[in-house]
Structure 1
Amino acid sequence: MPSTPIIAPPIARIRPRTAGSSCCRGSRATVSAEALDPVRTRPRGSVADAADPRAPSSVAVPGFLTAASGGAGYVSAAPVAVAAERLAARRLQRRNDALLAALGAERKSLPLGLGWDGSGAALHARLTQQPEYYFARAEAALWQDASEDLREWIGPRAGLIEFGFGRGSQARPLLDRLEEPRAIELIDLAGDGMRRDAPRLGAERRGLRVRAQSLDPQTALATPPAQLRRSGLMLGGAIGDQPPELARASLRGIARLVGPGGLVLVTVDLKKDPALIEAAHNDGAGLAAAFGLNRLRQINREFGGGFPVDRFRHLAFYEPVEGRIESHLVATAALRAGVADRTIDFAAGETIHAASTYLYLPAEFRRLADQAGFEALDARLDPEGKVALFALRAR
């Protein structure tokens, strides 16, 4: 059946798409949404600070995007091995500092991007196949509907720049629909899921040059050369991984990167019946819970943690005032955990705010994009009105 078209200003082309837990409420009474926001408890200078409006907003796409066709596969992100080692050490220290600060706050939380290690990525891939997880199916329907327009918007032999927050690349369905894409730069604004995924993406797609980097927020880098048409991507609902004020700042940086007239494609999880949203984060197979608990396992593996994972449980609920789904890890008893040389005490029932995903109404996201320097060329919903695809042009 036909979907509800998005109301847009006269400049936009609107294409309506046609079809071809009770326990958490008790916890919410004692958990402040603002206090538990991982972004608000993150210290300055952490890796996730890349999208902070106070941090440098320009990001680099190195010159490989201008390379002639013929090269294929993954390109190492580091031009000099020593520089790469120093960058990795600096990144690891910032991740450690961010984690300790977040867990040491009055309202415990986790930094943005944690959880997308190899185990977490595999769990999430399985989660997207569950009947409760609507986003992947809705996004796939949007790609199918927009196939012809995608080739027109992006053009042949394009250079692409994908942004994310710890996940791997979400661009594979899009790449399948483009004409000879030449190169893709994967930029991780939190975590390093893009860098882990880059070799696999390069091996899958011969003729596509793939490069990845985790953005260093302390480095302001040059605007990329213009020999290739380049388009920005923020897919898989990644725009919702940040609160609106930081999402706006990220979009501003992307607008400067692609330049006036540059195209950016964004898929957005829309506000809807809270029961549907909560079901997607509390699936019957328990994969969302396993993904959440894997964050503690990652801390134990990578940060010298000593969390008793079996003494925590997953909790996810929709917070209507903030317009976000919150994921928490709840201590089932009073306990003590260690990270590095720190000891962290938990009261029974105390939570770690592990992550938030922000949802938008179509008009809300259009307004946010406008404030970030974009106009909407096209906007459409999937047939059930759960997810939107926005084609944005930088002014």
Structure 2
Amino acid sequence: MTQAVRFHDQHVDDADPSFLDDVMSGLSARPKALSPKYFYDRRGSALFERICTQPEYYLTRTEEQILAAATAEIAELAGPESLLVELGSGASRKVRLLLEAMQPARYLGVDISREFLLESTRRLAADYPWLEVHAVWADFSRRLSLPQGVSGGRAVAFFPGSSIGNFEPVAAEAFLAGLHRLLPKGSGLLIGVDLIKHRDILEAAYNDAAGVTAAFNLNLLKRLRDELGAELVPAGFRHLAFYHEAASRIEMHLESLREQAIRVGGRDFMLAAGETLHTENSCKYSVEGFQALAQRAGFAPTAVWTDPQALFSVHYLLSEQAVAYSSRLVR
């Protein structure tokens, strides 16, 4: 018999800036910027799922191949009857590979998109009736607590897709330090990290020929208009993505095609022709560079797996600094 999903609301409190607050702050900044977390309304989440199937977007299929080859080792490292915490909930094949290999006692999906979270966790609950499924509606980039009833014992946090790359390195270290404080002692973190490679491969991944990534980026403007009543013309912008080699990151922007204004919150924000709204960074790492960052955050690198072309890496980190460093590099 399928268990009901146990829902926990940690989304906002009075101290959190609202969507409007963040937009007003971002449009007032120099240069202008909008947070990538606002990509993920229901439509944005669905578009991202489509991005993952595009032929240029190697990240998802490569990470999945790595996980499929490493599931036995991952299950051994995680141990039996653990809590599996997925940051950025999904009903994709990646988490299903882990559920089938690890057989955790409980699953906790965390996502900022409430509807997508509920849909994905309900599918998992239906497909795995033996599994106790929890859903936490939260912005895990700000703070997160493990709900009562799921916080005891060993846990494994799963942060796939190289989403850690959306944080600048200093912020990524702070985020990982927060996870280190959150997880019970002896817990693990299984995390996907995109690797530095030739710019042609990187730029193609964020400029797919079908235009799905462009639609995903432009969906931010639709959210401003539909949810905040912003006065703007989405056709006045275009998707722009390029590799910033010195910073080892892909940058995504919305470029203004002409001089125009965005009116929101009772204010007009002027944009010159060619001016951009910076919507996302996706930082790329070497294996050694990411391991050093994880160690500074309190994690002990324990295992790492990569694909034969060294496009992508999956790391298993332990949440106790005292654990001896014994990284295993698998190519």
With 330-339 and 357-366 compared, the bigger mean Cα shift is at: 330-339
SS in 1 for 2:218: helix
Q: Tell me which of 18, 25, 42 is aligned to 1:118.
A: 42
SS of the aligned residue for 1:368 comes to: helix
Give the TM-score normalised by structure 2. 0.86
Report the alpha carbon displacement of residue 111 of structure 1 after superposing the two structures with TM. 1.8
The yes-or-no answer on 1:294 pairing with 2:214 is no
Contact 2:158 2:190 in 1 (8 A): yes
**1:232 equivalenced with 2:163 (yes/no):** no
The match for 1:74 is 5
Displacement of 1:174 after TM fit?
3.8
Matched residue, 2:105? 182
Contact residue 91 and residue 120 of structure 2 kept, 8 A: no
Residue 264 (structure 1) aligned with residue 189 (structure 2): yes
2:274 partner SS: coil
The equivalent of 2:118 in structure 1 is: 198
DSSP-derived class of the 1:110 partner: coil
> Which is bigger in relative contact order (C-alpha 8 A, separation at least 6)?
1
1:155 and 2:79 correspond: yes
Query: Structure 1 stretches of 5 or more lacking a match?
Result: 1-69, 79-83
1:336 is matched with which residue: 257, 261, 275? 261
Where does residue 241 of structure 1 map in the other structure?
A: 166
- Return the alpha-carbon distance in structure 2 between the equivalents of residues 145 and 381 of structure 1: 10
Q: CA deviation at 1:157?
A: 2.6
CA RMSD of the aligned region, Å?
2.6
Name the CA shift for 1:301/1:144 in 2 (closer, same or farther; >3 Å): same
Alignment of 1:40-79 (within 5 A): 72-78=3-9
Shift of 1:182: 2.7
Query: How far does residue 184 in structure 1 lie from its aligned partner after superposition?
Result: 2.4
Q: Map of 1:9-20 to 2, 5 A cutoff?
A: none
Judging changes above 3 Å, is the alpha-carbon distance between structure 1 residues 307 and 176 closer, same or farther for their aligned structure 2 residues? same
Deviation at residue 315 of structure 1 after TM alignment = 0.6
Check conservation: 1:151, 1:177, Cα contact below 8 A. Answer: no
Q: Deviations over 1:118-157 (max 9, x none)?
A: 1111111111111110001110111111011122122333
Query: Partner of 2:70 in structure 1?
Result: 146
Q: Secondary structure at the match of 1:113?
A: helix
**Cα–Cα, structure 1 residues 344 and 316, in superposed 2: closer, same or farther, change >3 Å?**
same
SS in 2 for 1:76: strand
The verdict on how the C-alpha distance between 1:283 and 1:212 changes in structure 2, with shifts beyond 3 A counting, is same
> Equivalent residue of 1:357, what SS?
strand
State whether residues 240 and 357 of structure 1, in contact with CA within 8 Å, keep that contact through their aligned partners in structure 2: yes
- Aligned match of 1:16: none
Which whole-Å CA distance do the structure 1 matches of 2:90 and 2:27 have between them? 25
SS at structure 1 position matched to 2:268: strand
Taking the aligned partners of 1:290 and 1:215, their CA distance within structure 2 comes to: 23
Is the 2:154–2:186 Cα contact (8 Å) retained in structure 1? no
Q: 1:93 to 1:256 in 2, by over 3 A?
A: closer
Q: Is the CA contact (8 Å cut-off) linking 2:237 and 2:254 kept in structure 1?
A: yes
- The whole-number CA distance in structure 2 between the counterparts of 1:90 and 1:112 is 22
Residue deviations 1:40-78 (CA, integer Å, cap 9, x gap): xxxxxxxxxxxxxxxxxxxxxxxxxxxxxx982321214
Structure 2 residue 54 is the aligned partner of structure 1 residue 130: yes
Q: TM-score, normalised by structure 1?
A: 0.73
Aligned to 1:96: 20
Instruction: Return 337-346 or 265-274, whichever deviates more.
Output: 337-346
Over 3 Å counting, the alpha-carbon distance change for 1:169 and 1:255 in structure 2 is farther
Residue ranges of structure 2 left out of the alignment (5+ in a row)? 321-331
Which of 314, 318, 323 aligns to 2:243? It is: 318
* 1:344 positional shift: 1.3
Other structure's SS at 1:267 match: strand
How many residues are paired up? 314
